[in-house]
Amino acid sequence: MTTGAVAELVLVAVTTALAVWLVRAVVRWWRLREAVKQLAGGKMQFPYGTMKEHTSNGSMDYAIKYCDVDPIKPIRYCVSSFMTIVALRRPQDIKNVVLRDEPKSKMAQNLLGDWLGLKSILLLNGPKWKSMRHMLNPAFSRAVIEDYIPTMVESAEELAAKFEQHARTPEEAVDVTQDFSLFTLDTVCRCAFSFKSDVQHSRNDQFTQDFFEMGPETVQRFRNPLHLLGPIYNLTSAAQRHRQRIHRLHTHAAQIIEQRRKELDGMSIEDVTTHKRPSGRALFDFLDICLLSRDKDGNPALTDEEIRSQCDTFLFAGHDTTATALTWLTFCLAKHPECQERCREEIFDLLGPDAAPTFTNLAKLPYTTACIKEAMRLYSPVIAVHRQLKSPLMLECGVQLPAGTTVAFSIFMLHRNPTVWEDPLQYNPDRFLDMTVDAFAFMPFSTGRRNCIGNNFAMHEIRVAMCQLLRRFKFVDAEHEPALQSALVLRSANGVKVKIQPLDS
């Protein structure tokens, strides 16, 4: 065969492969489009999809608008005519996806990968995720969390000192978002990293600002479909600012790791767990596990990049979420003084005026726990999590989604779905006392194998904070109407304001 004939054959093969790929992509797109037309949600327009309806507030107005429209059907988010997310909000649909163990979506990896790294436990899939989870699980064992409680109390005392200041102007409405954010960042630094940060006193420093802005900045990309394409987004000034922020956060994490690496020089996990650390620090924390774990050949189990990736993930996942839960809980308690008073009585009965909470007695706060859960139901800290379907999915409403579709478990809409919850907009903690709740109806920490690894840590931290605050302060309704906003977590564009008053006023 001549060279010309070979070249011709190659050309035909490549063209055929391209044509097949294109036809399959068009067929997939068409099937998804036809399926999505039958769901609930905004009008689909070329080329914006439903975007015109959900560019403001990171899509929260859209979520609220369609919350009880056709609540059996999932909701479509067409971020253009070419990118669609199907938001599931019925327990059965979510259960079907969870049981099939569908992977994290490429979209989540694109949005968070630069910051958290593709080796982050939050973004990994398959056997790599499984072995990372297996390695990190001990950092959240019962014994480790028990050891963390006094540290959480110390951190909560610093928060209480700040609230003391607010209480000097008892009629002033205070936005509690940042105070809680700094408290939880401080707590995760002290517990998971044994790093005594000063963040609660440095509201305006670059590190805390960077953390606070990362969520809104990430979600901002959804306002412009072109920005979801990496090469185009990378040319914008927003991307440049974002990269600088990420660089600063990476540097900060690298410094914490380096400091610990020096401290652990020559030590094994056994040394640390039997308290032989030179500094005398007895806690065995998440960073110890990352640095000291070994593979079967005795080599470090994680590369430097993998360690940094897990650190960034824990700093992010371990603080913004819990801060959001505390913020909305405080808001709900201010709006419902009778629930607040019942929590306070329960805490005083258990601890009296001064005793510090312990791991054992924190388990004896059923009503306070019900209030925490009810606040997380109504104001779910994580609005949605995403998966990518490996094979077609038949929805409860009878529509079939093709393989490759990005689906979201819309935790926010599931928790407000009138077919799942009676009076869904009513704050009623008693519902968590009276009934056993289905794991696919209430899932602030997600559910299944990929649920939140920090679930117990977070619940203890929230209870500790409430024990320390409710015995000193009253949260009073400031008649403030928050404007819900998605910033990876559920924030409010105009803050979350309450009045903070001394208990004896």
| Residue least distant from ligand HEM (Cβ) | 454
Tell which residue, 209, 53, 163, 173, has the closest CA to residue 482.
173
Q: How far is CA 424 from the centre of its chain?
A: 22
Report yes or no: 465 and 186 within 8 Å, Cβ to Cβ. Answer: no
452 marked as binding residue: yes
For the bound state, the minimum distance from the C-beta of residue 445 to ligand HEM, rounded and expressed in Å, comes to: 5
Record the tokens describing residue 420, joined without a space. 């799942």
Only one residue has tokens 């609660």, namely: 200
Burial class (CB in 10 A: 0-12, 13-18, 19+), 350: middle
Direct distance between the N- and C-terminal alpha carbons of the chain, in angstroms, rounded to an integer: 97
Tell which residue, 149, 109, 159, has the closest CA to residue 129.
109
For the bound state, the minimum distance from the C-beta of residue 367 to ligand HEM, rounded and expressed in Å, comes to: 19
Q: Is 326 helix (H, G, I), strand (E, B) or coil?
A: helix
Strand partners, 248: none
The nearer residue to ligand HEM, 51 or 144, going by C-beta atoms, is 144
The nearer residue to ligand HEM, 216 or 337, going by C-beta atoms, is 216
The nearer residue to ligand HEM, 53 or 102, going by C-beta atoms, is 102
Strand partners, 388: 406
Strands 84-88 and 75-78: antiparallel
The nearer residue to ligand HEM, 129 or 474, going by C-beta atoms, is 129
Enumerate binding residues for ligand HEM (CB under 6 A): 121-122, 133, 188, 192, 313-314, 317-318, 321-322, 325, 381-382, 385, 444-446, 450, 452-454, 457-458
Q: What is the spatial distance between Cα 18 and Cα 285, in angstroms, rounded to a whole number?
A: 51
Record the tokens describing residue 473, joined without a space. 């302060």
Strand partners, 407: 86, 387
For the bound state, the minimum distance from the C-beta of residue 172 to ligand HEM, rounded and expressed in Å, comes to: 27
CB proximity list for 373: less than 8 A, separation 6 or greater: 429, 432, 442, 444
For the bound state, the minimum distance from the C-beta of residue 268 to ligand HEM, rounded and expressed in Å, comes to: 24
Record the tokens describing residue 290, joined without a space. 């990352």
Q: Is the peptide bond before 357 cis (omega within 30 degrees of 0)?
A: no
For the bound state, the minimum distance from the C-beta of residue 453 to ligand HEM, rounded and expressed in Å, comes to: 5
The nearer residue to ligand HEM, 96 or 313, going by C-beta atoms, is 313
The nearer residue to ligand HEM, 373 or 474, going by C-beta atoms, is 373
Tell which residue, 288, 278, 282, 279, has the closest CA to residue 256.
288
The nearer residue to ligand HEM, 381 or 429, going by C-beta atoms, is 381
For the bound state, the minimum distance from the C-beta of residue 489 to ligand HEM, rounded and expressed in Å, comes to: 8
For the bound state, the minimum distance from the C-beta of residue 417 to ligand HEM, rounded and expressed in Å, comes to: 17
Annotated binding residues for heme = 452
Annotated binding residues = 452
